[in-house]
Structure formats: structure tokens, C-alpha cells
Amino acid sequence: MPPEMPPETAPGNPPFPQPFDLSFDGRTIHARPGQSVGAALVEAGVVAWRTTRGEGRPRGLFCGIGVCYDCLITVDGRPDQRACLVPAADGMRLESGRTGRDTDARER
Amino acid sequence: MRGNADVTADVAVADVAVADVAVVGAGPAGMAAAVEAATAGLTVALVDAGERPGGQYWRHGPHDEGPLAGQHGRRTFAALRAGLVRTGTRTFFGHQVWLIARDADRFTLHLRPTHDGRGPGTRTLTARSLILCPGAYDRQLPVPGWDLPGVMAAGGVQALLKGSGTLAGRRAVVAGTGPFLLPVATGLAAAGAEIVMVCEANPLRGWLRDPGGALREPAKAVEGAQYAALLARHGIPYRTRTVVTEIRGEDRVRSVRIAPLDRDGRPRSGVRIEVDADLVALGWGFTPSLELPLMVGARTRLDTDGSLVAVVDARQRADVPGGPGVYLAGEATGVGGAALAVREGRLSGLAAAGDLGRTIDEGRMRRLQRAIRRGRRFAAALHTATPVPPGWTDWLDGSTLICRCEEVTYGDLCHAARELGAKDPRTLKMLARPGMGMCQGRVCGFATAQVAAALTGGSPSTPSADDLLPLARRPLATPVTLGEIAALGEES
């Protein structure tokens, strides 16, 4: 007799997407599967996570679809990722930053 | 049928996939193109930056079957998605094409993951034909304070809602022009946000009531009536000939100043109200994504909405150096919406199959061509009804950012035009650097061309295709690492 299937994978009982945690500058925020990193931040009340190179102005989501590069964020140590496109994942580490491209990070 | 052999071959070679036709963009046009080409017997590779098919219009979350109930064209989406599965179309989701090269009889597409955390790294795709369906993004007019967090493109607000189930704010002003403001406002309201106001810059004479009965697009009339009903149900104030002239706040949006437009399309002085808001959704129509069409040398023209678009013939073929083989469908050929994009996508898929020797139904092609002409007439009427206000630069002040990436202000552009003698957008770009940042001018290109036309004395200040082209050309379609460029040399 095969082992009993765990309830979340049993046929006819599709897995209900469970919320999970990620961290933003050390603070815990919650996300649902399928949310982008940017969406999770906005739901947590965070609307800006970098400042501009020139005037030091706060920036977060603008175009929301990967066009404007305003929402750049460091994800698990990888800099300059578009928060609107990166799917949030359990345990992910997000870090705010000054701006994209003021380091040689992209040339690694 | 030689399709199966190709599919087997591209599974065997790890990072190089081979197909008869590569379709770039899996929105309404790209899905339709892929399904038609595959149904006609071609092997098809379908690439999209998103993780799922649907593009911006049919964006949905990973646990949704597709676009939500009530969303337009939902059944078409379901049929097309089933078509992709049925035909065994190979999909490359979560990847962006950053470079396309053409040699004698094939195209080589270089792909990179949309974000660095996603495997499996860069890939190469080769195909005999190319169908580009890159879609469009919101067109923007700068306004003081539009760089504040809490100000978003209308399409971005919609994307958050559709893709992540996330409300971008609780108290929203939706502003700009065009019918797209309506689903954004009603979508936000249905999800629980308060819509302080929808500011439509144009009078939209009768569009809601009868958006083109004379133009015979009955589906659009139904859509318009549905939105009118939704606005009423949610009690959303909808003001025409009204614009946002200033967005205020320190660290984020706190309030919005709103003014009526005068007959010349300038905000009436002294007649301004200020409302509290934590979200401003802005959209002034759409800008087609032309990076890839321009990369393959497609000829362009100025469309009725002032956008640079690619020229196609009656079978969706682009005019490119090196002969036929490139097809374009959807917004890249002129902003016209999802229904038209599906028709163009289908036609391009059939045309590509026909040109590669497959038997296709010519009668069906003619019916699609007629439907496309109908859709184009409707789109042109809508463009004419929703122009950018001619006096919009009146609401700029010297410190208003035009280029968000490089933080170039209206004052900087005025200085370059008046003191440094820049006479055209290209010179303005060289002297003041608008459009030279990470987004490569996607967001500010249209506005920069408009400002340049206004500052250099053009009246009416409408930029030409020649003005827009230098702001639309991008050597690479998306930023890449130096390592990825270096790897190109190693391959060849």
C-alpha cells in the first residue's frame, strides 16, 4: 500500500498558496506565492527602496512592468534586480540601496 | 510534417534551440501568432519576459486559471493557451531577447533571464522566421512631483492588481487620457480602493456612450457601456478636460493638484483644487516597444497618436533589410488594443507559414485583413479623440524631472535649447542627457521629443518620426552584463 499522500498534494485538493516571509533590510515582511518582490513591499507599506544618484530622491515602483528600471533592488546579494519582475520567494533577502549602476556590480 | 524532428533536435542541444519561427512576446498578438503558425505545421518557439503567457493585457497570477472572470477576451486567452499546449509550442518564459542577429537564412536570438535569480542563464535560439509582438507600455507626460513614490504608470497599477492581487494605494487619482483609465479605476475600486477622481484630459465626445457605432466595432460599444455602469456603481467621479498639474509630498505622494483645461489645452490658471491621495496612476496612451523591430532594421512611421510605429504590409511583413522573414503584430504596428492584436497575430502566423511553404486558408486571411482594417479605423478614431493636450508643457516648472533616470529637469532642457543652441531632440539628448539612463529613454522619449519640438519653435509642436527615432534606438534591447557581451565573441 502506497504511503498516504500529504493533504496538500492529494488529488482534488489543490495546494492553497501559503504566505511566507522574506526580509527587507532585516525587517520581516510577508508575501503570497506569485507576488512580485515589489508587490510584497508595497503591501508591507514600503513604497521606496532606493535613492537616486544625483539628488538622493526616494524611488520605488513606477512602470510596474519592467520598463523603467526605477524599482531596482538587491535580492539575495544580487544588485540591480527589477522588483516588479522578481517573484517573491520564501526566505529571500531584500536590501535597499543608493542606486543602480553606481558600483561596478554589473560588470562582475 | 518535419516539426517533430526539430523539436527533438532542440531538446538534445542544451542551450541552442532551433525552430521554424521564433515568436517574441506572448501577449494577445504573440499567443495568436504562435498558435496559428504551429497549427499550420511550423515548429514554434515562443519567448516572453513574463513567467506566464498573456502579456500585460491578460496578466494573471500563478494560481489563476487565466484572466479573472469578467476580464475581456478571457475565452480567447483560454483557447489560445490550449492551442499552445495542443501544438507543442516550445515556450521560453521568464526570458528577454536582448540581441537579434541575422545571417543568410536564419535569425539568432540571444536570451537572458528576466532576473538574475532565475535559471538557466543565457540561451540562444535560432529560427528561419521571426514574428515580433513586443507590445507597448504606458506613455507618460512629466508633471511636477511625478517622481514621488506612490506615483505609478496606470498600467503598472493594473499589473500589480492582476498579477499580484496588490492594491498600490488606498486613495487614488487616475489621470491622463484614453479609455484605459477606466479599467484601472474600476479595477482599483472593485479591489477596495477609494477613487478620488478620474481626470480625463479630453472631452471624449460620446466615446462612453457610443464608441464607434459608425465604425462598426460593437464589442467596443459594449465595453464602453460596461465601464460607464461600473463608474456609476462605484460612485467614481469622472471629469473630462481635467488634468493633474502637480503632485505634492516629501517622501511620498500626499496630495494632488487638479485643474480644468482651457480651449487651447492649457491648465486654466487660478482654477485649481487640491485633493489628498496616496496613489496617482498616470497614463497618456501607450508607447509601442520598438527595440527589437528597430534592431532588425524595420522601417517606421508616425502613427495618428504621435507614436513611432513599425510599417507592415497587408500580411504583417516588416520592411527590413535582408528580405522578408520578419513579421510584426500588435501594438508595434500601431496602438490598437488586444482584439486587434489577436487578429494581427493570427494573420502574421498564417503569413509566416505560407511564406515557408505551408498550405494556408487564403479566405481566412482575407477575413482577418478586413477585420484588421476595421480595427485600425477604430484605433485611429480613438487616437484622434485622445490627443496629448497641446499646452501640456505649461504645467512644468524648471525643477520638474523630464528624465527620471538621469534626473534631467525641464530647466536643464530649456538651458540646452536656449543657451547651448540645441535645435532638435538628438542634440538635446547629447547636451542635456535625457534618455541616457537605465531605461534608455523608454519613459521620457516621447516627452523629450515634445519638449524639444516646443522649445525649438515647432508649431504645432508635434515631433516627427525623425525626431522620435533617435530616442527609440537602443543598441541592446535590455541592459546586460559585460560578460554576456564577451560571450558572444566566444560563440562565433
Judge whether B251 is closer than 8 Å to chain A, CB to CB. Answer: yes
Q: How far apart (Å, rounded) are the C-alpha atoms in residues B221 and B238?
A: 18
Task: Give the Cα separation of B318 and B132 in Å (integer).
Answer: 10
Instruction: Tell me the nearest-neighbour CA distance from B215 into chain A, angstroms.
Output: 32
The CATH superfamily holding the domain B396-472 is BFD-like [2Fe-2S]-binding domain (1.10.10.1100)
Q: Which residue among B56, B148, B251 sits closest to A65, beta carbon to beta carbon?
A: B56
State the count of interchain CB pairs (< 8 A) between A and B.
135
How far is residue A84's CA from residue B150's CA, in Å, rounded to a whole number? 14
Cα-Cα-Cα-Cα dihedral sign, residues B37, B43, B48, B54:
positive
Closest CA to A39 of A92, A93, A86, A72: A86
Look up the pTM and report it: 0.90
For A53-80, write each residue's pLDDT tens digit. 999 999 999 999 999 999 999 999 999 9
End-to-end, the C-alpha distance of chain A in Å comes to 53
Count of H-run helices and E-run strands, chain A: 1, 7
**B contact test, residue of A16, A65, A108 with most B CBs within 10 A:** A65
Q: Is B191 part of the contact surface with chain A (CB cutoff 8 Å)?
A: no
Is the CB of residue A36 less than 8 Å away from at least one CB of chain B?
yes
CATH class of A19-94: alpha beta
| Complex prediction ipTM | 0.90
Cell numbers for B383: 487616437
Residue A14, pLDDT score: 44
CB B440 within 8 A of CB A104: no
Q: Are strands A27-31 and A20-24 parallel, antiparallel or unpaired?
A: antiparallel
Report the run of H or E that residue B338 belongs to, with start and end: helix B338-355
Chain A residues with CB inside 8 Å of B254's CB?
A: none
**B16-137+287-360 — its CATH code?**
3.50.50.60
Whether the CB-CB separation of B72 and B82 falls below 8 Å is answered with no
Domain B141-283: CATH superfamily, name plus number = FAD/NAD(P)-binding domain (3.50.50.60)
- How many other C-beta atoms are found inside a 10 Å radius of the C-beta of residue B178? 24
pLDDT value at residue B342 = 98
When mean pLDDT is compared across B64-73, B90-99, B294-303, B339-348, the lowest value belongs to: B64-73
Partner-chain contact B151 A72, CB within 8 Å: no
Residue B293 pLDDT: 97
Between chains, do B252 and A59 touch, taking CB under 8 Å as contact?
no
Peptide bond into B120 cis (omega under 30): yes
Whole-angstrom distance, CA of residue B112 vs CA of residue B95:
5
CB A83 within 8 A of CB A71: yes
User: Residue B118: helix, strand or coil by DSSP?
Assistant: coil
**Mutate: best of A16, A22, A46, A69, partner B, most B CBs <10 A:** A69
Domain spans in chain A, listed from the N-terminal domain onward: 19-94
Rounded to the nearest 5°, which phi and psi values hold at A57?
-85, 145
Domains of chain B: which residue ranges?
16-137+287-360, 141-283, 396-472
pLDDT value for B151: 98
Dihedral sign, CA of B120, B123, B129, B134? positive
B233 by Cβ neighbours in 10 Å (0-12 / 13-18 / 19+) ranks as exposed
Averaged pLDDT, B128-149: 98
Does pLDDT of B198 surpass 80? Answer: yes
Residue B440's closest chain A neighbor by CA? A68
Question: Are B16-137+287-360 and B141-283 the same fold in CATH?
Answer: yes
List residues bridging with B287 in a β-sheet. Answer: B137
Residue B216, min C-alpha distance to chain A (Å): 33
* Maximum CA extent, chain A: 67
CB B173 within 8 Å of CB B256: yes
